[in-house]
Amino acid sequence: MSQRPARPVPVAAVGQRSFDLLGLGMAFVLAVNAAHLPWWLSLALAFALGWRWWQRRQRAGRVPGWIKLPLLALLTLAVIVHYGNLFGRAPGTALAIGLLILKLLETESHRDVRVGVGFTCFTLMTALLFDQGMVSTVVVALGLLPALATLRALEPAQAPASVPRSLLSPLALLVAALPLALLAFLLVPRLSSPLWGAPSRDQARSGLSDRMSPGGFTELLTDDHPAMRVSFDGAPPPPDQRYFRAYVMARYDGVGWSYRDVANLPPAALDVAQAVKYRITLLPTHRHVLPTLDVPIDAPAGASMRRDRVVMAARPVDDALTYTLSSATQYQLEPGLDEHQRRWLQLPAGFNPRTLALGQSWRQRYGNDDAAIVRAALALFHDGGFRYTLAPAPLGRDAMDDFLFDTREGFCEHYSSAFTVLMRAAGIRARVVTGYQGGYWNKLGDYLLVRNSDAHAWSEVWLAGRGWVRVDPTAAVRPERVSLGAAVAAGDQLDWYHGDWLQGFRNRWDIVNRWWDQAVTGFDALRQRSLLTPFGIRDTDTTTLGVLLAIGTTLFIAIGLAWALLRRQSRDPLREALRELERKLAHQRIARRVGEGPQHYLSRAARTLPSQREELMKLTKCYLDLRYAHDEPPTESVHAFRRAVRDFRAKNVVQ
């Protein structure tokens, strides 16, 4: 006899509460990664997520394949078109989050939900590939709450609860897991580099480049992220001496300035009159240049000094780097410059004729008095109707002519570039220097905080008998840029930014960020190996770390197990709730007899109180399910039973 084919076992549809919690977790993933995704992709995925949530509330069921497959192909094509490929941190993150949202379109069974929870936790961690700050880490940790709540909602006999109440139990689990997480953070052996490799160059936060053109600093000047922190041996220099040199740019092509690395020549001669020693912690820039207080005397370990006193590291700064060095605050830089050296006078032909004519007219007027020509240029910026703004008008082919004679508005790049071109047109050797200027002195932490928004460009001119002299033409237009900082110089354009209360908060909060960078993100393999130095162990190898991790994990599990057993023995919430119900029934002369089981007792009480029979039978069924159907009854269901007992009011028995 032939056997009939077995019928497929129907898969139970997942409840709406579990689906809503899973959707909440996916929405959280999309929100924390939105800053790293194209705006149109974030908007499209948010729409798909909202539509799926609405569609399932109308009618449960998977979205048809003829909708899912085109969406999958469209997502892949969009990522390839935008990023150029599917590989790398940014395109991989975008594709993973898109696939996560599309997974919700076919989520209907318990298995689908569990797969979705695992995928949600995985994509949530991608936010840490872009930012490992304390706030980002805490936000990512909180993003685990909806995922854990979803798994709890899948457990049988779960009582209905609001979304905030559903998140309380996962929050307690996260708090309980913190000691084990700390143990793993300290003892799990660390790799010398991340599994995903070094971040790409286009993700460098510190946007200082070896090329500068008027308007190129705009994004950098509005970036509030820290660039470096500086500690001084002794009192810090005054604000007008807080110039941190990065690149010295000589070549001008009519559009912008560029730096040429001269590594085979000794550093320019420097006569030091006064010096200061300091230590810089530079956040990742993914470049070789090391900003130094102008002008560095020597190069730190692992770096070298170029001809123009520019310090270059041997490797790109892909991780936070701390280096110590000394710089001159009063000096003569290269006073014996070769008079025949033409590099600092070169200008491209066919650009900015009006600017060249103005510089040449100053030479004719002032003769050999170079200092007078410098003063004339600064007077032009001060009295010529120029305005400091972070949103200047665009410039044409003859950018310096447009700036000096037409728009007359811009920021440091415009003024330093125009000033240097004017000086060269007048026959004075000049160059552009880019770096940082100013910063916020944090009295609580005793360090100078320099942000990306403190990026600055100034000029240096060579004067006979004095050498290279720093000239900041921006200060002639807006002195507050040097004395009070970039935010104040922006005036009402960033009025919200430089309020006293906000600056005070930002400075104090940076102490927390500094501690986090040093203690958490800066905890590398080298620091891990020296973890046991206070106990006389100079170098902790991998075997020792593994043994300590095993011992610590065992102790943690043992303590948790002992606490759970003691808590279970010392307190039984179900038994307490049943005793409270017995006391209420005893007031109606329905006392529990010796040896009488709870089912028989509550059934007898239901017969004695016919008006409350249905309510008592529900309490009986709930108690028996919680007591005998689970090894460990769900906490939410136990709380619901206790609330039902508290709300129960036994009515008088009619005699």
CA distance linking residue 206 with residue 209, whole number of Å = 9
CA distance linking residue 261 with residue 210, whole number of Å = 9
The answer to whether 261 and 249 have CB atoms below 8 angstroms apart is no
Nearest CA to 223 among 412, 511, 451?
451
The answer to whether 485 and 439 have CB atoms below 8 angstroms apart is yes
DSSP state, residue 149: H
pLDDT at 435: 92
- Residues shown for the chain: 655
CA 491 to chain centre: 27
Phi/psi region, residue 332 (left: phi>0; alpha: psi -120 to 50; beta: rest), is beta
In the numeric block, which tokens belong to residue 231? 């500690």
Residue 517, amino acid: D
pLDDT at 423: 95
DSSP 3-state of 448: strand
Provide the residue ranges of all domains of the chain, joining segments of one domain with +. 16-155, 211-501, 533-569, 572-647
Nearest CA to 460 among 355, 367, 337, 368?
337
The three-state (H, E, C) secondary structure of 579-592, written as one string: HHHHHHHHCCCCCC
Give residue-wise pLDDT tens across range 51-61.
Answer: 999 988 888 77
Furthest-apart CA pair in the chain: how many Å? Answer: 124
Write out residues in the chain with pLDDT < 50, as ranges. 1-2, 6-11, 194-206, 492-493, 496, 655
pLDDT at 365: 94
pLDDT at 197: 41
CA distance linking residue 10 with residue 411, whole number of Å = 69
DSSP 3-state of 108: coil
Collect all residues with Cβ–Cβ distance below 8 Å to 488 and sequence separation of at least 6: 480, 481, 498
φ and ψ of 430, to 5 deg: -150, 160
In the numeric block, which tokens belong to residue 111? 């298995």
- Residue 199 to residues 87, 130, 155, 225, 568, Cα–Cα distance (Å): 13, 9, 41, 17, 49
Residues catalogued as catalytic: 412, 456, 472
pLDDT at 355: 95
pLDDT at 468: 94
Label residue 197 exposed, middle or buried (CB < 10 Å: 0-12, 13-18, 19+).
exposed
CA 416-365-342 angle, to 5 degrees, is 50
Sign (positive or negative) of CA dihedral 16, 21, 24, 30: negative
Using the structure block, give the residue that is written with the tokens 């400091």: 388
Angle between helix axes 39-58 and 16-33 (nearest 10 degrees) is 170
CA distance linking residue 396 with residue 545, whole number of Å = 62
